[in-house]
Structure 1
Amino acid sequence: MGNKINPICFRSKIFQKNYSKWYSSYNYSDFFLIEQNLRNSISKEINNLYISNIYIEISKHFAIITIFSSKPGLIIGKSGEKIISLKKKLKSENKISIYISVKEIINPDIDPTLISKGICFSLEKRLHYKRIINRYLNFASKKFIRGIKIIISGRLNGNDIARKETFKYGKLALGTLSEKINYASSIAKTKYGLIGVKVWLNY
């Protein structure tokens, strides 16, 4: 079971918080399209490398967006110029009032989304994958994480035959609901093709 289901969905009622909060019995499709448009516009306007999660709360007349980032200064900009222009663009596209707040992630080394994005960014820069992953494993061990697992698959180092490699540290019981496990995945677009990265963290 642990290898076949997303750990976040598996623990949604116990630990994990939903990434969106809205409900509509009549205009469900409209709210869904608004959320998708907001997420796509934010990822286009902001450097997605430093964004961990985006929480969106939508009502009939307004939307509250909370962006969790390791470098909030890059999102806000000088004197808040970037965040103001982003708010104006989202408001004009979706015809509702927009409220945006940015929160800083204090420990980006133990965030699975930022880890997977960092690995993909390094792979696109043609760095050796073992050196990259071992560096993140060392960071996690120093932060007193109970366990971490990283799976990377594709044409590693440009080899003709694609393969999958797994790196582990500590304890990671995916089938145990009482374990607080977070998960993320990303894709690196390299010269030789796509390389997938999956990261599990046990806090």
Structure 2
Amino acid sequence: MGQKVHPLGFRMGISNSHSSYWFSKPTSYLFFVQEDIFIRDYIYSKLSEASVLNIDIKRKVNFLCLTISVAKPSVVMGVNGSNLDGLRNDLSEALASKFVKYNLTINIVEVLNPDANARFLAEFICQQLEKRVPFRRVIKSSILKAQKAGLKGVKIQIAGRLNGAEIARTEWVRVGQVPLHTLKANIDYCSYKAQTLYGILGIKVFTYSS
């Protein structure tokens, strides 16, 4: 069988950049990775309605800067930034209780064309599948959204008990070009899980933009 490599890690340093920026000694590297995982899981769960697309983490000695790219910044900010202040305080308290206390700064960046983002499309597919919409209709509507966003190509793959079938299978559709073997190609990728009545469906979205 063919061996698959992660599309984002494959292009790291060529067409993709790191999402965590820090340096550590070998003894503290493990704790920093655990903190990054905790921070991302916390923000994705707290801001599930804001469509968080990316989280960049930058560290200094006792300073932590988060840059959150969202499709709906008004949900994150709230009235006069009240929701953002609450998120900052809650996250700093959670980090202090479980890890180390930091001087925390959170920056919110609005994504102007979210339909071109692989994670946004994967979340849309997940929401539709959990509402028991037929998967072929979901794939078709997702591809239309991607084409309107100006993407050169998109590939969508869904695996599991599709439409409640007894035997699990994998279905995928590709429209346009998705050159996974070209390192300079601007490929975005996201894998997601949809919890349905018949079990978990795995979702993979590949997008290719100029």
Length-normalised TM-score, structure 1: 0.94
Aligned: 1:192 with 2:173: no
SS at match of 1:13: coil
> 2:72 matched to which residue of 1?
71
Question: d(CA) in 2 for partners of 1:117 and 1:110?
Answer: 13
Answer with 87-96 or 155-164: which moved more: 87-96
Aligned: 1:127 with 2:108: no
Residues 77 and 70 (structure 1), Cα distance of their counterparts in 2 relative to 1, 3 Å cut = same
**1:104 aligns with one of 110, 116, 136:** 110
Structure-to-structure mapping, 1:44-59, within 5 angstroms? 44-47=45-48, 50-59=51-60
Show structure 1 runs of 4+ deviating over 3 A: none
Cα displacement (A) at 1:33: 2.7
Residues 3 and 52 (structure 1), Cα distance of their counterparts in 2 relative to 1, 3 Å cut = farther
Would you say the 8 A contact 1:2–1:174 is kept in 2?
no
Q: Percent identity?
A: 34
Cα displacement (A) at 1:3: 6.1
Question: d(CA) in 2 for partners of 1:77 and 1:138?
Answer: 31
Instruction: Provide the aligned C-alpha RMSD in A.
Output: 1.7
Would you say the 8 A contact 2:21–2:57 is kept in 1?
yes
Which digits, 9 at most, give the CA deviation of each residue in 1:74-108, with x for residues without a partner? 11122211110111122223211110011111111
> 2:98 matched to which residue of 1?
none
Q: How many residues align structurally?
A: 203
Aligned: 1:152 with 2:158: yes
Question: d(CA) in 2 for partners of 1:10 and 1:48?
Answer: 30
Question: d(CA) in 1 for partners of 2:56 and 2:121?
Answer: 19
User: What letter matches 1:101 in structure 2?
Assistant: N
Unaligned runs of 5+ in 2: 96-100
